[in-house]
Structure 1
Amino acid sequence: MKIAFIAIKGVDIIGGIETYTVELGKRLVRSGHEVIVYCIKTPEYPTPFRQDGVLFYPLPTIHHKYLEKIVLVFMASLHQFKVPELDIVHYHAIGPSIFSFIPRLAGRKTIFQSHGHEWERSSWNIIAKTFFHISEKLTFIFANDASAVSKNLKYYYEEKYKKSVTYIPSGISPKKPLSASKILRHGVKKSEYFLYVGRLSQEKNIEELISAYIGLEDTPVKLIIVGKERPEDTDYVTKLKTLAGSNKNILFVGPAYDDELVEWYSNALAYILPSRIEGLPITLLEAMSFSCCCIASDIPANTEALDNKGLTYPLNDHKALQQQLEYVTKHVAKRQLIGRNLLAHAYKNYTWSFISDEFIKLYSTNLSIKYKGTVA
């Protein structure tokens, strides 16, 4: 099969959809399929290039908070007509999926994949949120088929639109833990820091984590915040740094990739995800795969991922989060047991090989061809 993904911002972006597309794409290639991923044209990536067998095709867009992604998706939806013998066009997320009717004009099958309710994000204004509501309704008319990264999303769509939605979760790539090396420059030691990894955006609710951490009394444990801010998040990140104040144990270390990111996960005392909104959080699954003791807000996506094997706290209750931080600091054996249980849970339910296999089945069903399985 030949499959096109529409669309991601870039291969060097820490984001759920970006990670999902790259990981799924390279496994589909290993299974013998051709994969094209549309992304934003940048000075670093001005022309098409291959990575792990996947063909990335950069396209121009308008660099504006409300227009950048939707213009990119529209351009990609038109460009796919130039790709011969394309079988599946896979649209990520509500919003971009409104264009899923375009490839069908050429008889191509379109798959919509939901990563969460875009209209819940506080970063969007009322016009954008209205657009996402309209896009959601039209997507279930335009697209040939639909999938969702969480069971909660699947049940929501099936109840609302009376159509079958395939549950295919986010995934993790099994990697060996690494001892601290690159991260030592930040003055950290094993099991002596709390960790957050992800976007520095409002829906991640990082201020709640900082407030909970500040409430701890005389703790030697640092708080490490790993992630990259987008231009539209500058004011929010300024707010976070103001909240952190002069506390030298709260470190904003920027984005981390490859071995450095593995080191952060491998040596953390605990991983914390205080999000207000998630689809199925890849960073939480990644932390679980490194046997991290995980603490998360009690939103449905987080509780689904943890499956009663990690620790949760009521969203918007930083005192409750503070108590969980204190608990895992004091109870070493318990936090290690939580980490081991989460590791087993992640490896059983969230491997990319399983996810690749499920998408090949979904694509094959829509193309009415015999499923051959994955070799990834």
Structure 2
Amino acid sequence: MKKPLSIMWLGLRGFPMVQGGVETHAENLCPHLATLGCEVTVIVRSSYQRPDVGPEWKNVRFRTIWSPRSKRLEAIVHTFLGVMYAAIKRPDILHIQAIGPGLMTPLARLFGLRVVVTHHGPDYDRQKWGALAKQVLRLGEYCGMRFANRRIAISDGIRQLVRQKHGLDCAVIPNGVEMPERTASITSIDRFGLQPQRYVLLVSRFVPEKRHHDLIQAFASAALHGWKLVLVGSADHPDSYTASVLEMAKATPDVICTGFQTGMALKELYQHAGIFVLPSSHEGLPIALLEAMSYGLPAIASDIGANREIDCNDIDYFPVGDVQSLSSLLKQRAAASQEAGQRDRLRSFVLERYRWLDIGKRTFEIYTGLLAERDQYQPNHGLLKWLDRR
């Protein structure tokens, strides 16, 4: 019997039921990699991984390693410790997620590890980071892209960025969705005092680039009779932005903050919403928008490149930060009856282009290609050349 590929993932908090785009990406993709013939071990952070999940979930193994609960330090410290662990365990491939953890790519290469890095977006553009943190993230992008054996971008926009800044190419493998089964259950939306098809939905972390204030202001201006606005999510590190969103929501009639939701509760919130809105100023390739479309939800999104890349005629776009335009679109969507077949059309659109199973196959091809071809990347550093000959 052929030995399965030993794959180790690093650079995320943990899963399942952990908030975040990279975490959702891993939660959906890793089980498919396991079914395709990989022994997948995910190195997770002790402060996020739920103890009741156990050491294995859907044929994916977890190795929990300590990390400080600090917005600025947890990722880099945990990735350093994870590379040390990988250097001992010697997986066939170490797969690092995101450009912050990418800072440790040269160290992993010095230990003789084959490394794949997935670029989930230019995190240095996020509003939450200060000047020093942004410089560290830029360095992480440089190290991750320049020193990885293989590079993956989750969107063509990110691939173009890497080409322009680093003169290197990436394989484009997007985020995806699992096609949900429809549910008639309304237990959770009853708990939040919601009526089916009569609420606007946003699912996201509470971070500045999601622009919750714009949506709350636009919703108030639209004055949709009988509608509510539902903000699903929370913050990993509550700060002044989180406090301002909660305060604004409390002061605005018919705005409900549910906190972080998973499982059937989240399924119901998607299934029975009337409109989904994503007003972000920064995204890699938005899983939440793809998930909303998988439920057939009418969607409104900011006109940033990552949202535009989905290229679906059933999404209404507005200039990022333009509250008046967003308010007008909310009025139009709320007043219009959804045309026959639109929900099925949206579901078919994402099924054809963004299935996690297909994304798993393409990722698996990256792994097997790397193992079959002894490192097409030719390092400029003498020590790395020596290690490659070992």
TM-score (norm. length: structure 1): 0.93
The CA RMSD over aligned residues, in Å, is 1.8
Counterpart contact for 2:104–2:143, Cα < 8 Å: no
Q: Does 1:67 align with 2:57?
A: no
Q: Deviations over 1:67-101 (max 9, x none)?
A: 011101111011112224x1111111112111112
1:96 partner letter: P
**Residue of structure 2 equivalent to 1:341:** 345
**Residue of structure 1 equivalent to 2:225:** 219
Q: Deviations over 1:291-331 (max 9, x none)?
A: 00010000000111243331111101011000110001111
Deviation at 1:169, TM superposition (A): 0.1
Q: Distance in 1 between matches of 2:6 and 2:54?
A: 17
Q: Distance in 1 between matches of 2:158 and 2:224?
A: 41
Q: Distance in 2 between matches of 1:326 and 1:286?
A: 23
Which of 32, 36, 48 aligns to 2:37? It is 32
Moved more, 141-150 or 273-282: 141-150
Q: Distance in 1 between matches of 2:224 and 2:153?
A: 43
2:94 partner letter: V
Instruction: Say which SS state the counterpart of residue 56 (structure 2) adopts.
Output: strand
**Residue of structure 1 equivalent to 2:12:** 8
Which of 252, 255, 259 aligns to 2:260? It is 255
Q: Distance in 2 between matches of 1:100 and 1:137?
A: 10
Counterpart contact for 1:7–1:37, Cα < 8 Å: no
**Residue of structure 2 equivalent to 1:266:** 271
Task: Report runs of 4+ in structure 1 exceeding 4 Å deviation.
Answer: none
2:6 partner letter: K
Moved more, 153-162 or 69-78: 153-162
**Residue of structure 2 equivalent to 1:372:** none
2:87 partner letter: F
Which of 204, 213, 227 aligns to 2:210? It is 204
Counterpart contact for 1:310–1:342, Cα < 8 Å: no
Q: Does 1:355 align with 2:364?
A: no
Q: Distance in 2 between matches of 1:258 and 1:142?
A: 38
Which of 313, 317, 329 aligns to 2:318? It is 313
1:158 partner letter: R
Deviation at 1:290, TM superposition (A): 0.4
Q: Distance in 1 between matches of 2:370 and 2:161?
A: 22
Q: Structure 1: any 5+ residue segments left out of the alignment?
A: 370-376
Alignment of 1:46-85 (within 5 A): 49-84=55-90
Q: Distance in 1 between matches of 2:146 and 2:268?
A: 45
Q: Distance in 2 between matches of 1:160 and 1:320?
A: 33
Counterpart contact for 1:306–1:342, Cα < 8 Å: no
Deviation at 1:57, TM superposition (A): 1.0
Q: Distance in 1 between matches of 2:119 and 2:75?
A: 16
Which of 149, 154, 165 aligns to 1:149? It is 154
2:102 partner letter: S
Deviation at 1:107, TM superposition (A): 2.9
Deviation at 1:7, TM superposition (A): 2.3
TM-score (norm. length: structure 2): 0.90
Pair 1:111–1:204, CA change in 2 (3 A): same
Deviation at 1:139, TM superposition (A): 2.2
Deviation at 1:248, TM superposition (A): 4.1
Deviation at 1:33, TM superposition (A): 1.1
**Residue of structure 1 equivalent to 2:104:** 99
Counterpart contact for 1:46–1:58, Cα < 8 Å: no
Which of 280, 284, 290 aligns to 1:285? It is 290
Alignment of 1:104-253 (within 5 A): 104-179=109-184, 180-217=186-223, 219-231=225-237, 233-253=238-258
Counterpart contact for 2:153–2:171, Cα < 8 Å: yes
**Residue of structure 2 equivalent to 1:374:** none
Counterpart contact for 2:298–2:314, Cα < 8 Å: no
Q: Deviations over 1:265-302 (max 9, x none)?
A: 11000110010100001111000000000100000001
Q: Structure 2: any 5+ residue segments left out of the alignment?
A: 374-390
Instruction: Say which SS state the counterpart of residue 140 (structure 1) adopts.
Output: helix
Q: Distance in 2 between matches of 1:339 and 1:319?
A: 27
Counterpart contact for 1:4–1:89, Cα < 8 Å: yes
Pair 1:187–1:366, CA change in 2 (3 A): same
